[in-house]
Amino acid sequence: MFDQKTYINRRHRLKQQLGSGIVLFPGHDESPINFADNTYPFRQDSSFLYFFGHNLPGLTGVLDIDKNDDYLFGNDAGIDEMVWTGYQHPVSELAQMVGIKKTGSLAELESFMKTAFSSRKDFSPARNSPSCNKFSPARELSSCNNFSPARELSSGNTIHFLPPYRAQTHLKLLRWSAFSSIAILPSTELVKAVIAQRQIKTDQEIIQIEQAINITVDMHIDAMQMAKPGIKERHVIAALYSKAHDAGVSMSFTPIATTQGETLHNHFYGNTLEPGDLFLLDSGVENAMHYAADLSSTFPVNGTFTSMQKDIYSITLDAHEAAIAAIKPGVAFKDVHFKACGAIVSGLKNLGLMKADLDDAVLSGAHALFFPCGTGHMMGLDVHDMEDLGETYVGYDGEAKSTQFGLKSLRLGKVLKPGFVLTIEPGIYFIPALIEKWRTEKKFADFINYAALDSYLAFGGIRNEEDYLITETGARLLGKPKPKTIADIENLKK
């Protein structure tokens, strides 16, 4: 954990920016696998971590701005529990570590919240609410994150909370509001205030992120060195997890470790590595302080790229370098993305896979056949930093995101500022099902040379990914460099 003062200052800034009202940070509870007591590894909500520090279940933080009171609520463990779990700090000690004096039990939180909700001026038990607050299965909750700034609560006794993405948080809000939080929107004002702080990484945060990246670089080098024909993808996965456990860290997301790199988020590890295969590894750890790393590497299983692989790899690298050259304060990341797309179109045109005018191809979205996702995203306490707060503000400063295939998957489009940490990860993917669909529909036939694609159907996919900090004047690679050029990779495998 950081020192007391860090958390006190973060909460102070937040209260200043909001000015008034009550701010709720319902921390996570344990997440059950197949019964209540068999749980996934605990991971706290990142905004809770940012303002209240503790990676422990059963806590809720509350800020009463008008009274300038900060609270930490939770239950102290008794001897019956400690027999199973070992010693647990009482909540008063946890609070003190992050500079909070007022604490209470979960029962006290219940009555505190019920009073707060029922005394709200605009409290209404009406059931008619914007569709994204109607209950939807957990997997649909994500679509609610891009909420509109409409229906702001009246200030004075506003209750601010962030959009819930775990059903358990949804249930708590329901209960605290006596089943009427369905008529209450998460607070856009709070979302904006949290983003304003969390998106600018301090020096002490950069140290944490670089620690996570350096461990991840070692993992990627290990994977490059161990990959060889005959082993299975899951043997590489075993080595990655073993390294993470040895280092006492965890994964920041489920790794992609595959010879079928054309599937963007492939979590199957059953394939055997064959000579001639490309192996795509997209993985990262989060360090002890829960700051994430996110790197991708693509390398030949038997040590040397084929000539066709070199052609495509070189184009992804050109796109990668074009993006890196473009990132600096004041530039919109959407334009950085277009630069990467332009490099891809240009390279594919040289190979005869695309045709006609470059800029038209990019604007039309034709390149999305090969690059259907984005050039990068924010990174911090979350691997896709603050994705739970919605892309509208995290990625686009309130502007509407494009709905065009490809561009709609660009998570970050807004103007860059010093302190932003982001990934750079353009790639090229040959997705047989997508090629088949577009070819049948004659989609973008002016831009795509479908006849030339037949020999690429089994190619797979290539992605390189590094993490950058936007500085006052440009950008800086975070962590130690990982093998990236064709020569780097082939030398490593010798």
Instruction: Kindly identify the residues of this chain, within the stretch 233-272, that bind its own copies according to CB under 8 A.
Output: 234-235, 237-239, 241-246, 248, 253-254, 260, 263-266, 268-270
Cα separation values, 260 from 92, 169, 281, 374, 375, Å: 51, 36, 10, 19, 20
Distance from C-alpha of 432 to C-alpha of 423, rounded to nearest angstrom: 27
Asked if 16 touches its own copies (CB under 8 A), the answer is: no
Footprint (CB under 8 A) of its own copies, residues 191-230: none
Binding mask 318-337 for its own copies (x = CB under 8 A): --------------------
Q: How much helix, strand and coil, in percent to the nearest 5, is found in the chain?
A: 40, 15, 45
SS3 257: strand
Binding mask 428-447 for its own copies (x = CB under 8 A): ---x-xx--x----------
Q: Pick the binder of its own copies from 132, 174, 332, 363 (CB under 8 A).
A: 174
- Judged by beta carbon, residue 239 or residue 424, the one nearer its own copies is 239
Asked if 29 touches its own copies (CB under 8 A), the answer is: yes
DSSP classification of residue 315: H
Q: Pick the binder of its own copies from 108, 124, 156, 167 (CB under 8 A).
A: 167
- Judged by beta carbon, residue 86 or residue 330, the one nearer its own copies is 86
Asked if 83 touches its own copies (CB under 8 A), the answer is: yes
Contacts of 278 (CB under 8 A, 6+ apart): 259, 261, 298, 299, 300, 301, 309, 460, 461, 462
Strand order in the sheet with 421-424: 421-424, 466-470, 475-477
- Judged by beta carbon, residue 176 or residue 305, the one nearer its own copies is 176
Asked if 76 touches its own copies (CB under 8 A), the answer is: no
Q: Of the ranges 13-21, 118-126, 136-144, 205-213, which one interacts with its own copies (CB under 8 A)?
A: 136-144
Taken in order 391, 330, 293, 229, the sign of the CA dihedral is positive
- Judged by beta carbon, residue 238 or residue 356, the one nearer its own copies is 238
Structure tokens at 358: 């470059």
Distance from C-alpha of 274 to C-alpha of 160, rounded to nearest angstrom: 54
Contact between 225 and 306 (Cβ < 8 Å): no
Footprint (CB under 8 A) of its own copies, residues 391-420: 405
Distance from C-alpha of 25 to C-alpha of 63, rounded to nearest angstrom: 8
Count CA within 13 A, CB hemisphere, residue 286.
Answer: 20
- Judged by beta carbon, residue 165 or residue 450, the one nearer its own copies is 165
Contacts of 64 (CB under 8 A, 6+ apart): 22, 70, 71
- Judged by beta carbon, residue 8 or residue 434, the one nearer its own copies is 434
Pairing of strands 159-160, 22-26: parallel
- Judged by beta carbon, residue 314 or residue 364, the one nearer its own copies is 364
Footprint (CB under 8 A) of its own copies, residues 348-387: 372, 381-384, 387
Asked if 145 touches its own copies (CB under 8 A), the answer is: yes
- Judged by beta carbon, residue 234 or residue 355, the one nearer its own copies is 234
Q: Pick the binder of its own copies from 5, 101, 121, 134 (CB under 8 A).
A: 134
Q: Of the ranges 137-145, 321-329, 359-367, 450-458, which one interacts with its own copies (CB under 8 A)?
A: 137-145
Burial class for 311, CB neighbours closer than 10 Å (0-12, 13-18, 19+): middle
Distance from C-alpha of 115 to C-alpha of 176, rounded to nearest angstrom: 9
Cα separation values, 327 from 173, 286, 344, 463, 473, Å: 40, 25, 17, 19, 10
- Judged by beta carbon, residue 280 or residue 322, the one nearer its own copies is 280
Contact between 365 and 450 (Cβ < 8 Å): no
Asked if 139 touches its own copies (CB under 8 A), the answer is: yes
Q: Pick the binder of its own copies from 70, 282, 388, 465 (CB under 8 A).
A: 388
Cα separation values, 87 from 76, 81, 84, Å: 11, 9, 9
Least distance in angstroms from the C-beta of 165 to its own copies: 5
Least distance in angstroms from the C-beta of 16 to its own copies: 26
Q: Is 151 left (phi over 0), alpha (psi -120 to 50) or beta?
A: left
Q: Pick the binder of its own copies from 33, 196, 207, 451 (CB under 8 A).
A: 33
Q: Pick the binder of its own copies from 85, 307, 403, 440 (CB under 8 A).
A: 85
Asked if 457 touches its own copies (CB under 8 A), the answer is: no
Footprint (CB under 8 A) of its own copies, residues 36-55: 36-41, 43, 45-46
Amino acid identity at 76: D
Q: Of the ranges 6-14, 27-35, 305-313, 354-362, which one interacts with its own copies (CB under 8 A)?
A: 27-35
Least distance in angstroms from the C-beta of 369 to its own copies: 10
How many residues touch its own copies under the rule CB under 8 A: the total is 81
